[in-house]
Amino acid sequence: MELTLRNIKGSELTYDEGDNNLLYLELNSNQYMFVKGDDTPANNGTKLSLIYSQAIAKTPYGNPLSTTNRFTVIVGPGKYDTNLVLSAPYVDLISLTGNRDVRINGNFSVENNDIYVRGIYCEKLFSIMNNYPLTKIENCKSTDAYSFGREIKLTSTLIKCECLADYSFNWKGTTSGILTDCIGGNKSFDFDGTAAGTYTNCVGGNYSFGSTLSSGVFTNCVGGDYCFASEQTASGTFNNCVGGLRSFAGEKGIASGTFTNCVAGAKSFAQAGTQSGTLYFCRMSTSKFNTSGRIYYSINGDGTSVNTGGGAAIKDPSG
């Protein structure tokens, strides 16, 4: 018995044509549309912009768009010459593969709340324009400075995002969102601003992680020199973090937070400033700790130990 494939008009299709039509049917439904990305970058960009404009006008299943009645634009790998603005809530835009293979040769801007974005490689500026606590951006990359927020209250969730240019991740802003596995360049993660969010496994260059105030929760984060509120106030919770020269409130700042198993270069942890916090198992590569705070089982730069916390000593987990 031979199977004959026909399109909606009744015309006979080859098996290859049938595969393509089935893919089209599967990826264009009541709740999602597909952009193939197999044309020229200019044409791809035009199609993507058109599909997005259609998507924000959709009413899936006859109901208005909402947080539980979403629409998704699925984008195939390819190059897209366009400046794209995500202006509507509840309309998501994701790479078909989940990888960073949707290359936008233009500016990409997130301008509303409750949007999910995944797999965008923006070759210009990737903007987050305002306070969008329900927006989630995952596995995206930008090449331009000031990407992923600038002078805003950044409350979104960012996962596996990357921008190695300077001033990325909310320059001069205040971040209270969640950032996980993100990578920035110099002066990233709230340079000249307030790092009050939750940062896990993030990496920044020099002057990163809140050059004015670091009051968030930092876990397994790594910065260069002058990181974690250098010469300012480090009042947050820092677990297994690494900074370079003059980090964690620097030499003359205020280290009032809790620091556990953190490592820094010379003149760190408010060495000549106000050290009113608590340090557990920390180390400076050179210089000695300011012992005015509570310091448990930590190591000065010359290899001498520091345990001046006062009260009942805690048990050294190293034995």
CA angle in degrees (0–180, nearest 5) for 262-146-79: 110
Report the pLDDT value the prediction gives residue 12, as an integer from 0 to 100. Answer: 60
- What is the model's pLDDT at position 27? 57
- Weakly modelled stretches of the chain, pLDDT under 50: 1-9, 15, 18-19, 21-25, 311-319
Instruction: Give the pLDDT of residue 17.
Output: 53
- Secondary structure class of 233 (helix, strand, coil): strand
Predicted pLDDT at 319: 41
| pLDDT (0 to 100) of residue 310 | 54
Can you give the pLDDT at residue 173? Answer: 96
pLDDT of residue 292: 87
DSSP, res 209: S
The pLDDT assigned to 5 comes to 42
Beta-strand ranges (E) seen in 76-222 are 78-80, 84-86, 91-95, 102-104, 108-110, 116-118, 120-122, 126-128, 136-138, 141-142, 153-154, 157-159, 162-163, 174-175, 178-180, 183-184, 194-195, 198-200, 213-214, 217-219
Sequence ranges of the domains in the chain: 10-129, 145-312
pLDDT of residue 2: 43
For 314, which DSSP code? P
